[in-house]
Structure 1
């Protein structure tokens, strides 16, 4: 399983996507803009066990904010939403105000639609992301992608019912490994964040779940099969929340 992946952005995207469909029980293809979602759906939309969702990546918001109405419309028929969120890093400081506006609009729309599962980017902005979610009870289910907030923010997110998706790339830093150790084990699901994430200079592939289990086992002090079972059980539980049919 892979709960956050940009299949459409890999070199040889069609072949990689077909391989992911063959290997994985489930792959969540998050898109970076409404236009990307529509194009990707046309090219890859018939793949089994692959969910493609509309999003508007916070790193692109400054250039693509005009696509927000299109995103809000696409959300009406979408099973889930992503990638959306806020990036509070220095590089995107100038667009924070518009990022906030877009994310608030998305969360409010999720609430209006009766709740959606959302894959959320929160680098350097976990506190603000959680605050917006808390202001909109009924928004649905949050999956915090590659969470890098503080332990206190992680506890708040856990109490809110958030999930945490992470992959091999999250273990590259000391801080990432320390955070993985403390993540609530019943709320962790696998992701790759490919093709952006890498491990040892090599792109992480969408079928990296076993590698994530290996790294989690080292952090958790358990066996690799136990960590793999935990990820599998958690993933299936989240799929039930999402309403994703296992038969696909």
Structure 2
């Protein structure tokens, strides 16, 4: 199994969850929420051949951690991928949107300067601005829009720009989520958990939830679960190559 967006370090009993994810999954992308969190997580959890830990600065806390931007840009230079980064235009965080945009712009520009990175991107109520920033820096690399929640027009625009999408079981809990997932390009969809934040029936989605995602997705695609799982696995391998991870990891 694979998980392309997970906050492994923020689960209760994170060390045990990390070990279990390393055992069960052939790949887990551990996205961090701030540069200092990336440093601490890398130190505390240590290296694993099946877990990729990446630096990020979550837009929900951008105004609190803006002083860490220089550290983030430095960390990006030695990382294969970046996440979680992006923009959040929802009412709760809109007041800090200018700061978010300054940080995200600097991150995308830095990725372009370095020859491209793969980014796990938060885009809640901000899809058009995210896409505009990416378009202004054509050498930025590969965008993976995690838990996409825009409009159908936003989805078409993101598809046209070649974006990837990471989806998890919790996305299927809403009618809008199911509608969006159904229309996503089938060759650019990969599984995620977004745990421990994503929940189903009050319980956090775990990093080894890819089979659940495949089962739910198969209903929308009208395919057997095993065929859907095969597609997600193939897509995951393709994305790993874009990240720059060697084939034997999969």
Partner of 1:15: 16
Shift of 1:45: 2.5
TM normalised by structure 1 equals 0.98
Partner of 2:103: 102
> Bigger CA drift: 238-247 or 141-150?
238-247
Partner of 1:40: 41
Unaligned runs of 5+ in 1: none
Q: How does 1:42-191 map to 2 (within 5 A)?
A: 42-191=43-192
Aligned length: 248
Unaligned runs of 5+ in 2: none
Shift of 1:247: 2.7
Shift of 1:226: 0.9
Is this contact kept in 2: 1:45–1:52, CA < 8 A? no
Separation of aligned partners in 2, 1:142 and 1:199: 26
Query: SS of the residue aligned with 2:145?
Result: strand
Partner of 1:3: 4
Separation of aligned partners in 1, 2:228 and 2:203: 23
Query: SS of the residue aligned with 2:33?
Result: coil
Separation of aligned partners in 1, 2:201 and 2:216: 14
Separation of aligned partners in 2, 1:22 and 1:246: 18
Separation of aligned partners in 2, 1:62 and 1:41: 23
> Bigger CA drift: 66-75 or 148-157?
148-157
Query: SS of the residue aligned with 2:248?
Result: coil
Separation of aligned partners in 2, 1:46 and 1:137: 32
Query: SS of the residue aligned with 1:142?
Result: strand
TM normalised by structure 2 equals 0.98
Query: SS of the residue aligned with 1:119?
Result: strand
- Once the two structures are superposed, what CA deviation does each residue of 1:10-50 show, in whole Å capped at 9, x if it has no partner? 00000100100111010000000000000000012222200
Query: SS of the residue aligned with 1:124?
Result: coil
Tell me how large the CA RMSD over aligned residues is: 0.8
Separation of aligned partners in 2, 1:187 and 1:22: 26
Shift of 1:246: 3.1
